[in-house]
Each structure stands twice: as structure tokens, then as C-alpha cells.
Amino acid sequence: NGWLGWPTGDELTVKGGASQTFQHGVVFWSPTTGAHPVVGTTLSKYAAARYEQGQYGFPVEDQTGPSQRFQHGSIAGCGKIGYQNPGGFFQVSSCNVSVPGGAFGYASPSRISINANRDQAVNAFISRAYDYLGTRYVWDYAMQPGNGVDCAGLVMQSLYATGMNLQDYNPTAHWYDPWHSHDANNMSNDRRFLHIPVSQRQRGDLIFYPGHVAIYLGNDQVIEAMPPRVRIANMYAGNRHPTGAARPFI
């Protein structure tokens, strides 16, 4: 039940120690270094260097920042340890999200650390949304602050700041794909977010209306892209009533 998930292979005896593969990484052990997991792009680079038998040797610490120390050097990489959404839901990461290139090929960089907890992920999500305050509303846009976003575009770019790869939701599809031009409605029905009663809303949840989505800040306040620009407003402003809510960070 830990963040590494279930083991996917037996413990292997290797020269100088042992290793075991889990769903979300590999644990390496030696008598002198102890046991430490290696995950994400750090694991990919470590594998390319022949794991513990290569130039780096065994890991000497868990990764808590942008690099991990080994017996004979450090490897820079990204990924996620500790807090994570359950399988089947969109995942957070310290890695930046890659989106299709071109005129709509922008994704906000991840601003969470590899060992960020849930509160830190929520804070990164909301702080990125605040960066868009005053940005003009443009239908089907999911662009940089100051350029233009619509309601779903604001949610996309703010979630990207937690390294959340939204897969088929991306700025290019949002502009060019007719189905994705209604991504607020699509998100309201997407089970890759945890859907909850509106009465159970918490800071960092998504609040849905017909054809619209907003980010909940607490105290009945939301930040949203609403013509003419991104604003903070009461979730019931204009006598509107939410139709649902979802939790991106579980």
C-alpha cells in the first residue's frame, strides 16, 4: 500500500547487494548503503548506465530534490515519491508535462518537488491559477498567462504546474478537436478525476457548471476564466448553481 506499489518481481541478488522491482520504481540495497528506491527519469538514466554495476554504484540516499546521490556520483532526474493519486486517476510528478508542439504547444512547468505532499501539490495548482488573474478569456485557448485561456484551459495549465499529464486534454486538442472544445463538460464526466458531492468540496477541487469549470479556493470563492478575463468570484455569483465537483488531488 506504499507509494512504490506492489512488487512486480522477486528480490534479485546482485554483485555487492540486491534489488527488487516495484510498480513505481526499483529498490537497491547493499550492506554499506542500505536500501534506497530509484524512480522516474533518474531510474531511466541509472538503467542506461547499467544500474549498480555501472559507473554510479549503489544509491546512498532517497531522492528528495532534483538529483539523487550514488556511491560514485549524482544523477539529475524527476519523478514522484511519497504522495500520489491512486492508480486510475491522473498522476502528479516533478517532471514537466509534454504536449503536442506548434502554436498551442505550451504547458506550464511543474513546480512541485519529487517528494511533494498533497498540500504542496494543491498550493502549486492554485498558485499557477493566480498567475492567470486578469488574463483575457478566449474560447478554446489554453495559453500562457497574459495570452489567453478559457475555463478548461485555465484548469489544464494549472494542473500542468503539478506535473499532471492530462493525456487527451491538451492545448492543441482543445483548439482543434471539436470534441475537446467542450472540455469543461468532458472533465465533469471524466472518472480520471475523483467526483464528489458539491457539499464535500475542498480547496483545490474543481467546481462544475453547465459548460463551465472553476477552481475552488475555499469560503465559497472560486478562481475561473469567465468573460472578459480570469477572476476570483463567489461560486454562486449571478444566481448560478454548481452541477458537480471533482477532486484532482486525492
Q: Once rounded to an integer, what is the mean pLDDT over residues 26-49?
A: 97
Between CA 133 and CA 126 the distance in angstroms is 11
Q: Once rounded to an integer, what is the mean pLDDT over residues 125-150?
A: 99
- Please tell me what DSSP assigns to residue 231: E
Does residue 232 carry a pLDDT above 70?
Answer: yes
Does residue 157 carry a pLDDT above 90?
Answer: yes
Does residue 65 carry a pLDDT above 90?
Answer: no
Which pTM does this prediction carry?
A: 0.90
Torsion of CA 209, 250, 6, 169, to 10 degrees: 40
Q: Once rounded to an integer, what is the mean pLDDT over residues 125-147?
A: 99
Between CA 195 and CA 172 the distance in angstroms is 26
Position 127 scores a pLDDT of 99
Between CA 16 and CA 36 the distance in angstroms is 14
Q: What are phi and psi of 13, to 5 degrees?
A: -85, 125
Does residue 1 carry a pLDDT above 70?
Answer: no
- Which is the CATH superfamily of the domain at 118-247? endopeptidase domain like (from Nostoc punctiforme) (3.90.1720.10)
Half-sphere exposure in the Cβ direction for 8 (13 Å, CA): 9
Kindly report, residue by residue over 191-217, the tens digit of the pLDDT.
Answer: 999 999 999 999 999 999 999 999 999
Between CA 101 and CA 7 the distance in angstroms is 36
Kindly report, residue by residue over 178-190, the tens digit of the pLDDT.
Answer: 999 999 999 999 9
Q: Once rounded to an integer, what is the mean pLDDT over residues 222-245?
A: 98
| Distant-in-sequence, close-in-space partners of 67: CB < 8 Å, separation ≥ 6 | 42, 74, 75, 76, 77
Parts of the chain belonging to CATH 3.90.1720.10? 118-247
- Cis peptide preceding 228, ω within 30 of 0: yes
Does residue 97 carry a pLDDT above 80?
Answer: yes
Q: What are phi and psi of 105, to 5 degrees?
A: -95, 35
Between CA 210 and CA 39 the distance in angstroms is 40
